[in-house]
Structure 1
Amino acid sequence: MNYILILALVILMVLVLVSLIRGIVAFMKSTKIDLETGESQDASDMQLMQNKMMFARIKYQALAIVVVGVLLALAN
């Protein structure tokens, strides 16, 4: 059981990292579009992507905390 939870924790940590990187890339693209055009009409898609990735990161972090809590409960 512990091995399954540890594997789930590692997968969740990777998902947190991927969503963080994708959010940073979307932020950099939206900033680049704003600087080049001076307008933010194309940046709205990137801003939506940033928000989506932020929510995904928070969701995965919460699930990882739950898995750590279960692991600690099983350890006792």
Structure 2
Amino acid sequence: MSTFLTILLIAAMIATVVVLVRGLVVFLLGASQQARDGTGSADGISPSAVKSNKMMQYRIMFQAVAIFLVVLIMWLAGKS
């Protein structure tokens, strides 16, 4: 059981890093596109901003899962 939880924890941590990097790339590409086009925040919310925000939500979700798994592993280790 502990090995399975450890594998899940590693997967959650990897997913967090992947989503973080992808969100940063989307954010930076959107910012550079806005700088080239000369568009600002007065134009409304850009599609890249929406995607960047969605990536942040996924990152927070994966971080929460990873923290929950750490707590669960520590709780199970304390019981035995």
Same fold (TM over 0.5): yes
Secondary structure of the equivalent of 1:39?
coil
What's the TM-score, normalizing by structure 1?
0.92
Structure 2 residues not aligned, in runs of 5+: none
Aligned-residue sequence identity (percent) comes to 33
Report the Cα distance in structure 2 between the residues aligned to 1:15 and 1:64, rounded to whole angstroms: 10
Which residue number corresponds to residue 59 of structure 1?
61
List runs of 5+ in structure 1 lacking aligned partners: none
| Deviations, residues 9-47 of structure 1 (Å, cap 9, x unaligned) | 000001001110111001111111111010156x71110
Superposed CA RMSD in Å reads 1.2
Match of 1:2 in 2: 2
Q: May I ask how many residue pairs the two structures share in their alignment? A: 75
Moved over 6 A (4+): none
Bigger relative contact order (CA 8 A; separation at least 6): 2
Instruction: Name the SS of the counterpart of 1:52 in structure 2.
Output: helix
